[in-house]
């Protein structure tokens, strides 16, 4: 009996966007791993992020057979960050582990994460030991991104760490307090802090389907990361402005002096034009950067919810173990977050 009180619940949070083909393999490999963890119950919180390939039906089929599998159906595709937020909000466990549906985050690592958590870590990060399964371009871009981000931002992102990690309940509650609607989860995870331990792992190639992150989407994610955690791109224009203005000032003095000494000189229209075009470009870049931030302020100011839930599916009969009371409280706590990635 005492065992039951001691036993902790572990929540796996999985976003699904058109993952029909990956679902059977995912549950086949994840459930035995979770069952092998001693003195712990578990739940799998599946968030259907507006899939249109029958993912929901597949998930419901599994949840009907296994009460530990819960399904949260969002009203449309809100993007991975929002889907993850939804899942983390719904999770009830003492530890929460976000994991991808495509088995790129190896389930075999879960017991290791749990072991480190039991040793006292509040956050256990799974860090990719290598990126050998990514293309050369993606690898280089990722490396460059971490460099740039960590240079620009006060908040340092640990390199090659994705969303796959274990978070204690206290960390999850802290995360829930962050009100921003534009969610850059990696950054938010890092921002909350807490005692953190790193576990390295090898990332596999996708087991089915294809990546939902095109180059353009990754670029936007990168912009989101930098603008969410650094204002340096905004401030740098002041210094650039000063620099250019002072150069222009001394150049002006030089021209006046030269005119006094050598008299009026007519040529120089080519250099004039090039300087004009150069500064036109610089100004446009500056305005663009300001626009990136203003656009984000605009989204935050509207205060729309991060996601909308169409329905929560859960087998009621067999869920005694999952504390129905706790769940009601969870439903009532209305969470709001952004619409777009
Ligand atoms: N995903 C999602 N909504 C989206 C895009 C992706 O819920 O709009 C989920 C997807 O189903 C998967 C996880 O996020 O479980 C990671 O996606 P993906 O494997 O495409 O990303 P990658 O591994 O290429 O970074
Ligand atoms: Mg993937």
- Does residue 142 share a domain with residue 114? yes
Number of domains into which the chain is organized: 2
Per-residue pLDDT in tens (0 to 9) along the chain, 341 residues:
444 446 788 999 999 999 888 898 899 989 988 888 887 888 999 999 989 988 999 898 888 888 889 999 999 999 888 999 999 999 998 999 999 988 888 888 899 999 999 988 898 988 887 766 677 777 788 888 788 878 777 777 777 777 888 999 999 999 888 877 777 877 788 888 888 888 888 776 666 667 777 778 788 888 887 787 777 777 777 778 778 877 877 887 888 888 888 877 677 766 777 777 777 777 887 887 888 888 788 888 888 888 998 888 875 544 444 433 344 333 333 344 333 33
Q: CATH number of the domain at 148, please.
A: 3.90.550.10
Residue 125 lies in a domain: yes
Residue 47 lies in a domain: yes
- Does residue 102 share a domain with residue 15? yes
**Whether the CB of 165 sits within 6 Å of ligand 1:** no
H-run or E-run covering 16 = strand 8-16
CA angle 226, 227, 228 (to 5 degrees): 90
CA 5 to ligand 1 centroid distance, Å: 36
Confidence at residue 83, expressed as pLDDT on a 0 to 100 scale: 93
CA 231 to ligand 2 centroid distance, Å: 30
- Does residue 87 share a domain with residue 113? yes
Residue nearest (by alpha carbon) to ligand 1 atom 21: 211
Helices (H) and strands (E) in the chain, counts: 12, 8
- Does residue 254 share a domain with residue 207? no
- Does residue 237 share a domain with residue 99? no
Identify which of 171, 198, 206 has the alpha carbon closest to the alpha carbon of residue 185. Answer: 171
**Whether the CB of 105 sits within 6 Å of ligand 1:** no
Range of the domain at 245: 231-302
Residue 85 lies in a domain: yes
- Does residue 106 share a domain with residue 58? yes
CA 234 to chain centre: 22
- Does residue 243 share a domain with residue 206? no
Per the DSSP assignment, residues forming a β-bridge with 40 are: 8
Task: For residues 191 and 203, give the distance between their C-alpha atoms in angstroms, rounded to a whole number.
Answer: 24
Neighbours of 212 (CB within 10 A): 15
Sheet holding 40-48, edge to edge: 196-201, 123-128, 161-168, 95-98, 8-16, 40-48, 69-74, 309-313
The tokens for 182 are 């534009």
Q: Are 156 and 190 in contact (CB under 8 A)?
A: yes
15 Cβ contact list (under 8 Å, min separation 6):
47, 49, 80, 83, 84, 87, 98, 100, 101
**HEC string of 90-140?**
HCCCCEEEECCCCCCCCHHHHHHHHHHHHCCCCEEEEEECCCCCCCHHHHH
Task: For residues 75 and 69, give the distance between their C-alpha atoms in angstroms, rounded to a whole number.
Answer: 19
- Does residue 153 share a domain with residue 293? no
- Does residue 205 share a domain with residue 266? no
Identify which of 208, 105, 214 has the alpha carbon closest to the alpha carbon of residue 161. Answer: 105
- Indicate the top mutation candidate among 12, 13, 15, 337 to test ligand 1's pocket, ranked by most ligand atoms within 8 A of CB: 15
Phi and psi angles of residue 278, each rounded to the nearest 5 degrees, phi first: -60, -50
CA 295 to ligand 2 centroid distance, Å: 29
- Does residue 47 share a domain with residue 170? yes
Confidence at residue 302, expressed as pLDDT on a 0 to 100 scale: 80
- Does residue 249 share a domain with residue 202? no
Identify which of 106, 98, 123 has the alpha carbon closest to the alpha carbon of residue 45. Answer: 98
**Whether the CB of 341 sits within 6 Å of ligand 1:** no
- Does residue 280 share a domain with residue 197? no
Q: Crossing angle, helix 215-229 and helix 185-192, to 10 degrees?
A: 30
Residue 225 lies in a domain: no
Per the DSSP assignment, residues forming a β-bridge with 316 are: none
Cα distance between the two ends of the chain: 46
**Whether the CB of 213 sits within 6 Å of ligand 1:** yes
């Amino acid at each position: 009996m005492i065992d039951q009180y001691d036993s902790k619940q572990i929540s796996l949070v999985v976003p699904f966007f058109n993952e029909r083909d990956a679902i059977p393999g995912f549950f086949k490999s994840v459930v035995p791993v979770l069952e092998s963890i001693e003195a712990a119950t578990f739940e799998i919180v599946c968030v259907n992020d507006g899939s249109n390939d029958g993912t929901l039906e597949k998930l419901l089929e599994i949840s009907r057979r296994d009460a530990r599998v819960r399904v949260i159906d969002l009203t449309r595709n809100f993007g991975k960050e929002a889907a993850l937020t939804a899942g983390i909000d719904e999770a009830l466990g003492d530890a929460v582990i976000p994991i991808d549906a495509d088995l790129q985050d190896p389930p075999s690592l879960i017991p290791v994460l749990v072991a480190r958590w039991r040793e006292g870590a509040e956050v256990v990060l799974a860090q990719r030991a290598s990126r050998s399964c990514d293309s050369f371009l993606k690898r280089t871009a990722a490396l460059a991104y971490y460099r740039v981000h960590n240079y620009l931002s006060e908040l340092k992102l640990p390199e090659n760490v994705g969303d796959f990690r274990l978070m204690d309940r206290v960390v999850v509650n802290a995360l829930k307090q962050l009100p921003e609607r534009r969610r850059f989860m990696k950054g938010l995870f890092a921002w909350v802090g807490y005692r953190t331990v790193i576990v390295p792992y090898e990332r596999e190639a996708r087991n089915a389907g294809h990546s939902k992150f095109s180059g353009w989407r990754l670029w936007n994610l990168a912009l989101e990361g930098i603008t969410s955690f650094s204002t340096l791109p905004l401030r740098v224009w002041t210094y650039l402005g000063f620099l250019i203005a002072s150069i222009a000032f001394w150049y002006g003095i030089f021209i006046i002096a030269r005119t006094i000494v050598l008299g009026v000189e007519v040529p120089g229209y080519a250099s004039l034009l090039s300087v004009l075009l150069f500064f036109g470009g610089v100004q446009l870049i500056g305005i663009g950067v300001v626009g990136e931030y203003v656009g984000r302020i605009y989204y935050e100011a509207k205060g729309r919810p991060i996601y909308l839930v169409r329905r929560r599916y859960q087998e009621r009969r067999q869920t005694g173990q999952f504390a129905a009371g706790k769940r009601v409280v969870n439903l009532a706590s209305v969470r709001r977050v952004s619409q777009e990635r």
